[in-house]
Amino acid sequence: MALIKIAVDAYGGDLAPDVNIEGAISVLNKYSEIKIILVGKEEELKKKLKAKNAEKYNIQIVNADDVFPMSEKPSLIIRRKETSLYKAAELVKNGKADALVSAGNTGALLACSLFVIGRIKNVSRAAIATTFPSKKGFSILLDSGANSEVKPEVLESFGEMGLEYAKFKGNSDPLVGLLNVGEEEEKGTEIQKQANKLLREKLKDSFAGNVEGRDILLGDVDVIVAGGFEGNIALKTMEGTLKFFSSTLKENIKSSGPLGLIGGLLLKKTFNKIGKKFDPSEIGGAFILGVKNIVVKAHGNSNSIAIMNAIRVASEGVEKNLVYEISKHFGG
């Protein structure tokens, strides 16, 4: 079998390049079918790989002298062709790599996906698709931040991409909902009202109608369609709520007296299990759907586990040909 080649933006992310290198090494320890191309400052990367005794892994390095900052205006990436991100995207475009993984500037990654790699035919906008553990097992939210303003037709196309993604994840008969402020068809802005109609026409019984914020984790749908504005707000609200709740839990256990502390110790394994379940690092990254090749966005503050999982997710996308499934759906 041919190796799956993943271009990793070695200098993308708050903790780059160290966690990116470590994540890559972890992948190679586990998966023999993956080949990693680290893109970034060649000399530094070589030194770091050597320091980690990683020469045996046969990691390829492609040099890129520039780094695109996390908080820079995304559109400027197009003029910074020597950045690790841009060069990694070029490798994919030129067929030197099968997929791109980056924990860098989201907007810039999106711009590279669209302008370097390119959109799938008949797909109007790309969407970031995030997955969560949910009551039903998992749920998919898209778009979780690529597009601040969307038309109803765009939301409808997100529904179609989400369906294909859910099938790719093993759900043969997924249900799609539209994120809104109430279940009734007339709820929301004009955009939601129109999108509801279009989704019903196109997805038929696979469309369950409007859903509310609580349904992202607790609902009966598998795919939640949202504009990038409200999708991103929902995503980050979930993150903040989980973090605040778990830190409150921790503090309260700490101050609960000796018996409570023993209780905490006895439940340590359970807490760790739940912590792992809800840990974004374990999910590993979000596909940017609608692009001609596999692109995975890892969280900006990814640790090495998150990078490892993002690479794993990307290689699954290549192996199970997610891009082909979406292209086929859109008649491309």
**Interacting residue ranges for its own copies, rule: CB under 8 A:** 71, 73, 134-135, 145, 148-149, 179-181, 184, 186-190, 212-219, 228-230, 232-246, 248-249, 252-253, 256, 259-260, 262-267, 269-270, 273-274, 277-278
CB of 221 to its own copies, least distance (A): 12
Residue 35 or 125 having the CB closest to its own copies: 125
Alpha helices in 60-178 (DSSP H): 84-93, 106-112, 152-168
C-beta of 30 vs 254, nearer to its own copies: 254
Which is closer to its own copies, CB of 1 or CB of 266? 266
Q: Alpha-carbon torsion 281, 282, 287, 293, what sign?
A: positive
The nearer residue to its own copies, 43 or 184, going by C-beta atoms, is 184
Cβ 275 to its own copies, closest distance in Å? 11
Q: Which is nearer to its own copies, 273 or 320 (CB)?
A: 273
Report the C-alpha gap between 65 and 309 in whole angstroms: 26
Evaluate the CA torsion angle 307, 226, 235, 219 in order and state its sign.
Answer: negative
Q: Are 37 and 89 in contact (CB under 8 A)?
A: no
| Least distance between its own copies and beta carbon 235 (Å) | 7
Rounded Cα distance, 138 and 313, in Å: 15
Q: How far is the CB of 247 from its own copies (least distance, A)?
A: 8
Q: Measured between alpha carbons, how far is 38 from 61 in angstroms, rounded to an integer?
A: 5
Distances (CA, A) of 206 to 6, 99, 218, 287: 33, 30, 18, 22
Q: Are 22 and 33 in contact (CB under 8 A)?
A: no
Nearer to its own copies, 38 or 306 (CB): 306
Q: Which of 67, 159, 79, 71 is nearest to 112 (CA)?
A: 79
- Give the span between the Cα atoms of 44 and 283, in whole angstroms: 29
Of 152 and 264, which CB lies nearer to its own copies in the complex structure?
Answer: 264
Q: How far is the CB of 230 from its own copies (least distance, A)?
A: 5
The DSSP bridge partners found for residue 40 are 63
User: How far is Cα 220 from Cα 140, in angstroms, rounded to an integer?
Assistant: 12
Q: How far is the CB of 178 from its own copies (least distance, A)?
A: 11
Q: Minimum distance between the CB of residue 122 and its own copies, rounded to whole angstroms?
A: 26
